[in-house]
Structure 1
Amino acid sequence: MTIVDSADELGRRDRKKLETRAALEHAALTLVAERGLAGVTVEDIAEAVDVSSRTFFNYFPSKEDALIGQSPASAAELRDRMDAVPADVPVLEALRLMSRAEAERVQERREQWLLRLKVFEQNPSLLPRLVAGGTETERVITEAVAQRAGVRPGTSGYPELATAAAMAAFRVAMVRWSAAGGHPELPDLVDEAFSQLASGLPNP
């Protein structure tokens, strides 16, 4: 086998893994939306994708993790996006650009994310896992904001407040997007939320 053949084979394997992971996520979300969290087992999810339970556990430690899935961007990727914005761009605008890019990636998987948000709404017990997953992201973004603003985290409170406001703006946009069935598009709702923040949240 040549080097090119080996690379092609690795590429196919990686694609297959991504396809299987996505299929398991979709099956978990679809089944839980239909039956409720308590009415779905790992075996049900695996059977829907025609794989074994053992294969399921190669991808996710639990059915709850399959429902939450992977964020479109990791904390490190978000940090890279912030760092890529020119240094002379104000903090809030840099946060908007970072958040909009994230919204565009979510929008690309519109149906999957609308289904996921529906499942979260129907199963509040999943929320603590979401909050825990967001803690590391908030810490990393806070560090990026502090560096851009030229202050240290834990001193003025500015990096923490700016990051919390940006994450809240994104979360509000997601909730509005879900409630409206995916219209208007999420990036536009994110821009609208940041516009309100930038203007000082005047009375409507």
Structure 2
Amino acid sequence: MDTTTLGLRERKKAETRQAVYEAALRLTVEHGFDGVTVEAIADAANISRRTFSNYFAGKEDALLYGEEERFRQLVARVREQPPGLTAWQAMRATISEMYQEMGTLDRDWAIRTRLAKKHPALLARQLASHADLERELAQAIADRPAPARPRVLAAAFLGALRLATHQWIEEEEARSLVEIGDEILDEVSRPFS
């Protein structure tokens, strides 16, 4: 099989995942988390229930897809940071770049955060995803100079990002997530500096 076909197939899969994610988020906003079924999401994304199952295990996975994609980008970009940076510097540089590219954080992020706080099944799925991300991020910084074990640094960094997101939501977005995130990351980094 040539790489053009493979590239097209992968693009189609990514487009389908994105369509399912967008349908899941839209329906959840309209009907509430408990009022949405996998069947309704599949219908809204114009796919079969079986196709849905090929991409996601359940509606929680579909709702968290956007967040997990951002996390994958974060880990990949930390790996791409210049080798002379410490582990903390590489993570900070990456999140700063991502904040700049995003501009203001999209509404989806706030919606997912609020939903996870209200629904235990979604929160459990989100926490499992965060644990996976923590391991991946620790591996991405493992070869960089650091004052602590990679897993400790990854957990501290991601914990600071989660806290910033929750504070941003609690403040009803009065300040930017970037401002809150930088403030919390600065505070957390003091022992690692």
| TM-score using structure 2 length | 0.75
For the residue of structure 2 that corresponds to 1:133, the secondary structure is helix
Separation in structure 1 between the aligned mates of residue 63 and residue 107 of structure 2, nearest angstrom? 14
The answer as to whether partners of 1:73 and 1:102 remain within 8 angstroms in 2 is no
Separation in structure 1 between the aligned mates of residue 104 and residue 48 of structure 2, nearest angstrom? 29
Unaligned 5+ residue runs, structure 1? 152-156
Separation in structure 1 between the aligned mates of residue 161 and residue 55 of structure 2, nearest angstrom? 28
Q: Which deviations, in whole Å up to 9, do the C-alpha atoms of 1:46-73 show, x marking residues without a partner?
A: 2223332233223212112111114134
Change (3 A) 1:198 1:63: closer
1:1-204, aligned counterparts within 5 Å? 7=4, 11=8, 15-70=11-66, 71-73=68-70, 75=72, 77-103=73-99, 110-149=106-145, 158-182=149-173, 184-199=175-190
Separation in structure 2 between the aligned mates of residue 182 and residue 16 of structure 1, nearest angstrom? 35
> What's the C-alpha RMSD, in Å, of the aligned pairs?
3.3
Q: How many residues align?
A: 189
For the residue of structure 2 that corresponds to 1:147, the secondary structure is coil
- After superposing on structure 2, the runs of 4+ consecutive aligned residues of structure 1 that deviate more than 6 Å are none
Change (3 A) 1:141 1:192: same
Opposite residue 158 of structure 1, the aligned amino acid is: R
Separation in structure 2 between the aligned mates of residue 27 and residue 163 of structure 1, nearest angstrom? 32
The answer as to whether partners of 2:17 and 2:55 remain within 8 angstroms in 1 is yes
Higher relative contact order at CA 8 Å, sep ≥6: structure 1 or structure 2?
A: 1
Separation in structure 2 between the aligned mates of residue 182 and residue 14 of structure 1, nearest angstrom? 36
Opposite residue 159 of structure 1, the aligned amino acid is: P
Which structure has the bigger radius of gyration?
1
Shift of 1:166: 0.7
Q: Which deviations, in whole Å up to 9, do the C-alpha atoms of 1:5-45 show, x marking residues without a partner?
A: x949964x655543432232122123233433332211111
Shift of 1:178: 3.1
